[in-house]
Structures are given as C-alpha cells and as structure tokens.
Chains A and B, each alone.
Chain A
C-alpha cells in the first residue's frame, strides 16, 4: 500500500507540473537559442528618458525654426521671495565668518548698539535694542518675521500709571453696565404699555442709590440665624414729596399690577389742624427720590384704591366727603370723574373706597364708606358718577329724641370697611364706636352680625388670605384682636401700649401680621412662633415727633411700607426670621406653600378654639350584654 501511495503522489506531482506549464502568449517573439542565451546588461543612466529631445521653436528674430537647448533636470517645487539685504558692512563680513554662531553674533551687535546708546547718553536702563532684519536669512532662511509697529515703544513710570488708570476706568464702566443689565434682568416689571412710565429719572436715581438697591434685593440679615424667635426690619428708603410735607399719610396701597409701585394718600387726621390741600402720589421703588405721578387735590385725601384690572384708574376719597376718580394714564391734573359737591357727596370724611367687580355691562364701580354713616356704591357712567346708598349704618341703641321731639335713629360712623375676599356680598364695617358689623349688600337695613370689638374707633380690619374666616382688627384702644367668623369672642388679643394705626396680614404667611402704632413702632407678630408676644418690635421713626399711621405689605417682595404723620413713607425689608416658609412634612412633600400655610393656621386655631360642641362619644360597648 505504501508503494501505491508513493506512485500516486508522483503521478499527482507530474500532473501539477503539467498544469503549471508556462503559457505562451500568442504574439510572443520566437527567438533562436543563441539569442536566448545572450546576457543583457542593466545599466542606470542619468539620462531622463522622458525629457523631450530636439525641441524647436520659431524665432521671429531670425525668421526660422531654431533648436532649443534641452531643458535641465531641475524641477522647482516651491519658491519664496527673497528679503532685501542691507548694504554689506563690516559686521556682515564678520557675520559670514561665524555663520552658525548666532548667539554671539547677536550679542555682539547688541554691544555695538549699547555703546552707541550710551554714547548718546539718553534713555534709562537698558538703552535701545535693535535687531535688524538683515540677520534673518543668515539664520537658515526662516523668513517668518515682520516688523510690526505697535505704538507702545516707551516704558516710563507715567506711561505705566496712565495705562492702569485707563484700564481701571474701563473696568468700572463695564461693571456699571453689568450691574444695570443685571438689574434689568432680575426685576422685570413686565411693562405692558398700560401706564406710561418715566424712566430717565428712574435710571439716574438708581445709579445714585446704588447700595440700597442691592440690600433691598439681596441682603438678608445674617444675625437671624442666632436669634431664634426674633426678626428685624431693615429700613431701606424714605419717600417724601415736598408739597405735602405737612400732611399725614392716611392710606397706602400697592399697585395690583406693578409690584414696585404704590399709591400714597396725603391727608390729615387731626381735627384741630386742618391742612388745606392733599395729594395722591404714585411712588415707585425704582425712583425713591420723587413720585412718578402726582395728583393734587383741594382737600386732604383719606383713602385710595387702584382698580385691579385697570391700574391707571385710581379712586380717592377726600376729607370733605367728595370722591374723585383719576385716570393717571391720561392726566394727573384733572380727575376723570368727580362727585358732585352738592348732591352726590358724602357728608362726612370718606374713610374707605374700594373697587368691586365690574357691573355686568362692564362699567366700573366702587364702594365708599364715610363718616356720615352711609355706604355708597358708585358707578362710573359716561361723564358722571351715579350713586346708590347701599346701607345706612344705624347704632344698635334705641332711637333717641332729636331737638324737635322726633325720634331719630342715631347713625353709626364707619371708620373702615373690608370686603370679604371670597364672598363679594359680605363685608365688614368697623365703626368709630368700636363695633364691627358684618353686613351684606343684599340687606340694607340689617346687620348679619355685630361684634363688640373695641372701645374706641376701629382703624382697620383685614382678612387672612389663607383662611378667610379669620380677620384681625385694630383700634385706638391699644388692642389688636383676631376674630373668627361667627364667634363673638376674639381668638387672640394683643395689647401693644399705644394707639394702633393699622394692622395687616402678611401675604406670604398665614400666621404673620404687622401693626404700627402712634409711638412710631412697628410690631410684627407670628402666631406660629409666639402666641403672646410680637417677634419684632422696631421703632422706625422718632417717637416724639412722628406717629405711624399706615402699613402695607408688598404682595411679591419681602418689604413693608410704613407711613407716618409727617408725610414720609419708609420702606422696610423683613428679615428672614419674619418670613419663615412652611416646611412640608416628610410624608407630604408634594404640598405647595398655600396648602401648608392653611394647614399651619388650622393647627394653630384648633389649639386656641374651644370645641364648639362637646358630644359624648357613643357607648358602643353596650353594658346590657355584660
């Protein structure tokens, strides 16, 4: 078998050899054997086989074809222009000798120049330094230099100083622009052109005020971390207007549309010292030095209200009982509507005016409360105000006999009114006698409820925004009381030691409220923190001269404005302790601030309220069985 295999292998090999026979092309030259054996030498020559030979060109000079010399073997790939050389000097002669030693060459040139420089005897320090362009190609042909002339060829102390001063000034300018840009970005008032604003003065004032703007926006009292239950108020600006310096600030209201704008009424409260004129000024935080809009009035202004939808419609009530409606967008000089001085006016001081939702026809209307005991509803007709008396407040006492024997019902005198925020037909009226009446617009002769609130005139009633059953009232009898709807007894009573001019709930918290007193102090209470004492008592104006009359919270920013009886409005910033937000309990992280605040208030109230009804739980484990 082995033999067979070997034979097979041989056979395959032969077959393979045959297959590998060289293939002859059909046109192969047939050579004889002798020629096949000839050795052909391979030689390398420098002749370019591709150069064209015997080139001919027609020469016009000679009028015939002349042969051209054969082209050379050099092909130029890249050519760069040469740099002009200086006239050959002795130095260059030396330079060529020491071509590779650039360093010493250059330094020698320096020496030469230094000598020249010193010879001239000018300049300080190192003298002049020249590096001529001629040296460039000597260094191996790197022609990448250019004599660039920049105009700073002198270094002297004053040059340096001037340079720094210029640069510093440029930097300051940059910073100013940055700050302005940042202010513009961070305080967008979203100005739809409803009210025409004057901005030139505002910007100047901004630049002047400088720091205070930063405080108002960004500064939070750091010491509040260390004082657990107390807070402070940082005074920011004082707003005044020259012509009404003697007037008392009788009312202030933030504009419902622009959160940096507020209206201030200048009137007077002291019966013995009447002031013949008054004004309503619209100030803005952007320009603390001068009001944006001024409306002078013939008599002291006691109250103001801005329409929530049309922020340029401002209604004011005057000391002499008349009512004016201004369209500040149109003009500040003339009121758009005026109450008729003979028939349509109130007979007493108008204490409060309030816009109410528009009539079904779209006409604007508002309420007014006056010292003559009447609450009127006025509607803005085409050219005039139409008035209807909603209710006449009568005292609860019996009719007492008048001078000619007829029985007259004594009218109560309203000093403040507040619409219920949720229910538009309910409103509370506080009187000079100290009663608070809960009235409805449907019933014009009866009260729904009478609270025996205070002994002296009630100056302000304010509803809590988070729980509208709760309201606070303050009075000249030194007390602030917190009430709940339907309860005749107050929930909380605070005695602050001086006539309380105004009290308001904070818009950001359900348990914080602030009050101002005639002693020039601002009190801030947080019922969640301390149910008996205020968390902040701060004198804002000097005690002897100024009395504080009004206070209002800004709905968006953590600032308060406080008005006093010298025509001055002070802005205060609330420190963080006074505006603690609610922390959501762990299991209910999704709740928003509003709900949290309501919950907080409810928890607080449940502690204070006595349960209305006490019912015995049913005895389910019946004793009959056992």
Chain B
C-alpha cells in the first residue's frame, strides 16, 4: 500500500518548468519603440529585482526621457487594471516568471 501511495505522489508532481524570458502579451507600440521599451524594462527589472518601485521608477524616467513625458509604469506580481492610454503607446509584458510590467502613456 505504501508503495502505491509513493508512486501516486511521484506521478502527481510533474516537473515544473518556469520560463523567465520576457514575453510581450500586448503591445500597441511601433517596432523599434517596443523593442527599446522591452529591453529597458528587462534591464530595470534585472537591476532592481527585489524592489518593484525602484524598477518602475527607472523605467518611467527612461521612457519619459526617450519618448516624451507623461508615461506611467506599473511593475508587480498581482494587480488588476483598467486604463486609458494614448494610442500606440502601450506595452504589457511578463518577465522573470512572476513579474508583470505595464507601461502606457497618457
């Protein structure tokens, strides 16, 4: 009986493969803008992997410098949202397996 249970447990836990590559879920931006923003977001998150606020601040400041002032950035692991954004200025992506980044201009 014990063996059967052990076997069941072994079967129940399949290998969990966690992907950490940056995955763009939705984007309105032009090609170059999107790649730049994505790389910027990845850099920021890697640099401030423990501090979402610092990462968001870095992203927002860089975006403002590059593409024009009113940008908003949210970096987090669990949130819901409802936004209005200026067309062709939205990026919504995952990174690191558990972090979501939302960048928009308004």
Contact = CB atoms under 8 A, between A and B. Distances in A.
B80 A128 contact: yes
A332 B73 CA distance: 70
Interface string A138-173: 000000111110101111110011011101100000
B98 to A, nearest CB: 6
A126 B26 CA distance: 21
A144 B68 CA distance: 15
Given A124-B79, A125-B78, A157-B77, A163 B25 contact: yes
Contact of B98 (A128, A130, A146, A160): A160
Contacts of A147: 84
B82 interface: yes
A131 interface: yes
A164 B19 CA distance: 7
Interface string A94-133: 0000000000000000000000000000011111111101
Given A128-B81, A144-B87, A147-B84, A164 B94 contact: yes
Given A150-B92, A160-B97, A164-B23, A155 B79 contact: yes
A145 B80 contact: no
B67 interface: no
Contacts, number: 83
Interface of A: 123-131, 133, 144-148, 150, 152-157, 160-161, 163-165, 167-168
A164 B97 contact: yes
B83 interface: yes
Nearest to B21: A164
Contacts of A125: 76-79
Interface of B: 17-19, 23, 25-26, 28, 74, 76-87, 90, 92, 94, 97-100, 102, 106
Contact of B81 (A129, A145, A160): A129
A155 B81 CA distance: 8
Contact of A153 (B76, B82, B87): B82
B90 A148 contact: yes
A164 B97 CA distance: 8
Given A129-B74, A160-B97, A160-B98, A167 B79 contact: no
A262 to B, nearest CB: 41
Given A126-B79, A133-B84, A150 B26 contact: yes
B78 A124 contact: yes
A531 B92 CA distance: 69
B94 A163 contact: yes
B76 A148 contact: no
A156 B99 CA distance: 9
Given A125-B79, A155-B76, A160 B100 contact: yes
B74 to A, nearest CB: 7
Contacts of B85: 145, 148
B94 A146 contact: no
Contacts of A161: 18, 97
Given A145-B85, A145-B106, A155-B78, 15 more contacts: A123-B79, A124-B78, A125-B79, A131-B84, A133-B84, A144-B87, A145-B86, A152-B92, A157-B98, A160-B97, A160-B98, A160-B99, A163-B23, A164-B18, A167-B23
